[in-house]
Amino acid sequence: MIRRIFTRIKRLVDTPDVEELAAYQHKIPHSVKLAIEYDKNTGFYTARVTHIDKKATKNLIITESRTADGLIGMVNDAVLTYLDFPERIKLHMPQLLPEGIDFADQLSRQGSLVLAK
């Protein structure tokens, strides 16, 4: 409880300025390709980032989530961490979203997904 209050106060005081946000916004990738697997035993989706802006990542970024929606958030966080975005900046960055409308169906059928700005 106290930690949550401290975090909220810190966010209010340590807000990045517009120039800093603009500098980091240019570092956000235009597209991220994922290879996704679903484990029926555990009920988790596992995503491996295979490409960031058409450059191979050699499977350095791997994350998992119980839901397809949660997986998108986890991938966004993992990619921004990989690109050295500070936590206080991550909060203000737009999320990369799936190109298709029904991405949960794409995950189950194709096992791959592309996130884009």
Per-10-residue mean pLDDT for the chain, 117 residues long? 76 79 90 90 92 87 91 94 92 84 60 73
- The pLDDT assigned to 106 comes to 59
pTM: 0.79
- The pLDDT assigned to 16 comes to 84
- The pLDDT assigned to 11 comes to 67
> Do 49 and 75 contact (CB within 8 A), yes or no?
yes
For residue 21, the Cα-to-chain-centroid distance in whole angstroms is: 17
